[in-house]
Amino acid sequence: MAKWQERAELLFKEEGLTNLKNANVLVVGLGGVGSFAAEFLARAGVGSMTIVDGDTVDITNINRQLPALHSTVGLPKVHVVGDRLMDINPELKLIRVQEFLSPERAFEIVSEEFNYVLDCIDSVTPKLNLIIAAKRKRVKIISSMGAGGKMEASKVKVADITNTVNCMFAKTIRRRLKEHKIDKLKVVFSSEIQDETSLKMTDGSNYKKSFYGTNSYMPGLFGLYAAETVIRYLLKKV
């Protein structure tokens, strides 16, 4: 055990830390949700991780995303997040993939070598591609739904997508998954009603047609719930 893991060992025990060290996870999307989820996994002691994101840090990311600072604007998120993860755990076996996932690449990158996939993508088409790939290959996955337009931390929870309420993003994903005969998916969502006045339309680039206003803490909280789900599974199952 490394000295920095002393507190974790008291809670996880030696066997738990070994399970985490032997685990391999895939985190796709390093925005407000995925950047925090990846960091929580690294600090827990996960031994191998692949991070995927084709985006660079934008100044509008600063209010909610871990890699976003005035000094990092314009830099690839996989580089900023990846460097941070390696500074947390220099022994982490880290693979960085700087690209937006096409349907073909989603199917290529998801493999049985991963113990868990964290879907932290915030646009419909790439998210569907990743979920379908994981389901077809029988790899465990947790998917983040919409954190935008929401304020109440107590409304965030983990559930099957069939049990989500007040989340238009989840409703869209659920409907599209049914077309592929997929009706079960573990998700992080909020049951709070979205603030529709915070909606803004876009030019449709990078598969995103619109987005909601977002605060500093809700995306990170979604990432926390996703990471917790994965960590607690890995402690017992790997």
- Tokens coding 3: 């000295």
Crossing angle, helix 6-21 and helix 218-237, to 10 degrees? Answer: 70
- Using the predicted structure, report yes or no on whether residue 208 has a pLDDT greater than 80: no
* CA gap 218, 64 in Å, rounded: 8
Strand partners, 49: 25, 94
- Using the predicted structure, report yes or no on whether residue 206 has a pLDDT greater than 70: no
Strands 199-201 and 210-212: antiparallel
Residue type, 160: D
Higher pLDDT, 11 or 102: 11
Crossing angle, helix 34-44 and helix 6-21, to 10 degrees? Answer: 100
Strand partners, 187: 143, 159
**Phi, psi for 158 (deg, rounded to 5):** -105, 130
pLDDT score at 207? 59
Smallest Cα–Cα separation from 47: which of 90, 8, 104? Answer: 90
- Tokens coding 179: 């077309």
In DSSP notation, 45-57 reads: T--EEEEE---B-
Give me the domain span that covers residue 191.
Answer: 3-237
pLDDT score at 83? 98
Query: Mind listing the pLDDT tens digit for each residue in 34-60?
Result: 999 999 999 999 999 999 999 999 999
- Tokens coding 112: 């049985």
Q: Provide the mean pLDDT of the chain.
A: 95
Question: Could you tell me the strand order of the sheet in which 116-119 lies?
Answer: 93-97, 48-52, 24-28, 116-119, 141-144, 186-190, 156-160
pLDDT score at 138? 97
Residue percentage of the chain with pLDDT more than 70: 97
Q: pTM (2 decimals)?
A: 0.95
Number of domains in the chain: 1
Crossing angle, helix 34-44 and helix 218-237, to 10 degrees? Answer: 40
Query: Mind listing the pLDDT tens digit for each residue in 76-119?
Result: 999 999 999 999 999 999 999 999 988 889 999 999 999 999 99
Query: Mind listing the pLDDT tens digit for each residue in 167-182?
Result: 999 999 999 999 999 9
pLDDT score at 204? 64
Beta-carbon contacts of 56 under 8 Å, excluding residues fewer than 6 positions away, are 74, 75, 76, 77
Which CATH number characterizes residue 143's domain? 3.40.50.720
pLDDT score at 231? 98
- Tokens coding 68: 């976003």
Average pLDDT over residues 192-207: 81
pLDDT score at 200? 87
